[in-house]
Chains A and B, each alone.
With several copies, the nearest count.
Chain A
Amino acid sequence: MLAIDAAAYASPWRRVHPAVKGVFFGGLLVCALALPTWPAAPLVAAVALTAALGPARVSPRAFARAAWGPLLFILTGSLTLLVTVGGPQGAIAFDPDGPARAAEIIGRAAAAVCCQLLFALTTPLADLLPRLTRIGLPAALVETVALIYRMLFVTLDSAHRIQTAQAGRLGYSHRRAWVRSVGALGAALFVRSYDRAQRMQRGLECRGYTGELTVLVDELSLRPAAVSAAALPSVLVAAATVSYMFLGAGL
């Protein structure tokens, strides 16, 4: 139903412990943000994309489709950096330093978006969420978040079907009808959400629910060696960047 989510469940890296993927993509993300954009950002993007399109077999099409939204934001947002306002040259003027600044931000953000997306495309939330208790989040919160994740698809499915029904009766054929239809849809979803909660309450009581949604979380072996290996690429990227800086300074 959601492309990124569906891709994550089909990923060959699904059985890799989320912490390992977290260290791998998180480390690269930190490199992209904290190190000088040139050359860290292209290095990070290259490493992340090689890993993702190679061993993790992320579909390039799925990746491109998901990346489109954030990239659009990054590009439009960076347009403002090309001009300067209220300066001595007048109300709006081209900023000669703008393109360089914009390129730097686009490079950094694009590399960061790669890391985020590739983590999302290889890590299903059903595997990730129950493990969040391990990092100290309260169980009640984690259970609630996992419950929201499950109910989100049920609600989304309702939304799809109600909206299709409305469109069939021309509910989106002009702006005024659209506003009315979205309003009716929102109200219907609210009513159904509460109804669903009540029915689920009944359904779970039959299975022994008394307030805790305790489930058995599969053990995935978390080998320290794997974590270190996952950290290696970011260390290498950092080392390469630092040595490039020194060499650049030396030359």
Chain B
Amino acid sequence: MTTAADGDATAAPPAALAGRGLTFGYPDTAPVFTGLDVRIAQGGVVGVLGPNGGGKTTLLRLLSGSLTPDAGEIYVGGERVRRGRRALNELRRRVQLVFQDPDDQLFSASVSQDVSFGPMNLGLAADAARERVAWALEALEITELAEQPTHLLSYGQRKRVVLAGALAMRPSVLVLDEPTAGLDPEGVESLVETLEGLRAAGTTLVVSTHDVDLAYRWADTVLLLNRGLLAAGEAREVLADPALLAAARLRPAWAPAAGRALRAAGLLAPGSPDPATPEEAARLLGGAEG
């Protein structure tokens, strides 16, 4: 179990990203976090869950340098991020935040131009930038959209372009705010598959979502927020704990309930994992009934 911000960089491999003692409040409001400790391990998928106004977006923005904490420190790959513009820009380069609404992040005329925005700001030569763009479009499987004007794309396509724009910065951590919101189940599936590809290539993913079932089957660890950290740990442990979920005003995932029912019916071996999807549960049931 990942403990929240053990901060002990010598014992374990350094966290990909960590926050220690983070305190933050928007002007003229009560602080959202006081003394929050979080630790994002290298190479996994971290789900961030919590109710509306629980601070998911705020935490993601703090971790990616888009908000500056009132107190506390951010660590990237074990190094403390110093104050000042240069260190902040380095943090932003290594930790890329992708917002929920793609329209907030598409501001160029064409897809390839938009994806090149980050690499150009890094000061890359034209050739290197072009290469990055091609690579990022390839990774998101949208190479054929390169010359399209951004405003003619569908919502799902625009989400991918924005992701490509972030990926073109070659971040070590990709922070995604509700990437699956507004996508149909098939769109979610294909996005998750693509993101799995990035994870396999070594990128750490931090993903906020309202979808407990998605977090349950996809995330390795989760952070449960409700204006403060309620829990951090293995997704299958945290999201199966009704008391924790109630505190975060979330509903439990279906998968553990279905898994228990299937085990009770003897259709699933006692030690085996819960079904990931309703289809899988139906398949297990079908074997019994068919």
**Which positions in A face B, CB cutoff 8 Å?**
1, 3, 5-6, 9, 14, 62, 124-127, 129-130, 146-147, 149-151, 153-154, 157-158, 161-162, 164-171, 173-174, 177, 184-185, 187-188, 191-192, 196, 199-200, 202-210, 212-218
Contacts and interface: CB of A to CB of B under 8 A. Distances in A.
Interface stretch (B107-115, B205-213, B256-264): B107-115
Taking residues whose C-beta sits less than 8 angstroms from the other chain, chain B's interface range is 35 or more
- The majority secondary structure among interface residues of chain A is helix
Contacts of B117: 166, 169, 171, 184, 204, 207-209, 213-215
Contacts of A174: 121
Contact of A161 (B104, B113, B119, B149): B104
B121 to A, nearest CB: 3
B121 A200 contact: no
Interface stretch (B48-56, B70-78, B92-100, B215-223): B92-100
Given A6-B152, A126-B113, A216-B130, 8 more contacts: A166-B117, A168-B65, A168-B92, A168-B96, A206-B99, A207-B166, A210-B89, A216-B116
Contacts of B169: 169-170, 207-208
Contact of B108 (A6, A199, A215): A215
18 contacts: A127-B110, A154-B151, A161-B99, A167-B92, A169-B92, A169-B118, A169-B121, A170-B118, A173-B85, A173-B89, A202-B66, A202-B104, A204-B107, A207-B105, A208-B93, A213-B108, A213-B117, A215-B110
B92 A9 contact: no
B165 interface: yes
B121 A126 contact: no
A204 B105 contact: yes
B241 interface: no
B28 interface: yes
Contact of A206 (B65, B110, B149, B152): B65
Contacts, number: 176
Contact of B149 (A9, A177, A218): A9
B244 interface: no
A126 B108 CA distance: 8
Contact of A170 (B28, B89, B97): B89
A210 B122 CA distance: 11
A206 B64 CA distance: 8
Given A191-B151, A216-B129, A185 B107 contact: yes
A168 B151 contact: no
Interface string B32-63: 00000000000000000000000000000100
Contact of A150 (B106, B112, B118, B121): B106
A215 B149 contact: no
A130 B150 CA distance: 15
Given A3-B28, A6-B152, A171-B121, A146 B64 contact: no
A118 to B, nearest CB: 18
B108 A209 contact: no
A174 to B, nearest CB: 8
A194 to B, nearest CB: 12
A97 B96 CA distance: 59
Contacts of A209: 117, 121
Contacts of A153: 109, 150-151
B116 A154 contact: no
Contact of B104 (A125, A165, A173): A165
A188 B150 CA distance: 11
Contacts of A214: 117, 120-121
A196 B149 CA distance: 19
Contact of B122 (A14, A130, A157, A208): A208
B163 to A, nearest CB: 12
8 interchain residue pairs of minimum CB distance:
A208-B121, A216-B116, A153-B151, A126-B109, A203-B105, A169-B118, A170-B121, A203-B104
A205 B118 CA distance: 10
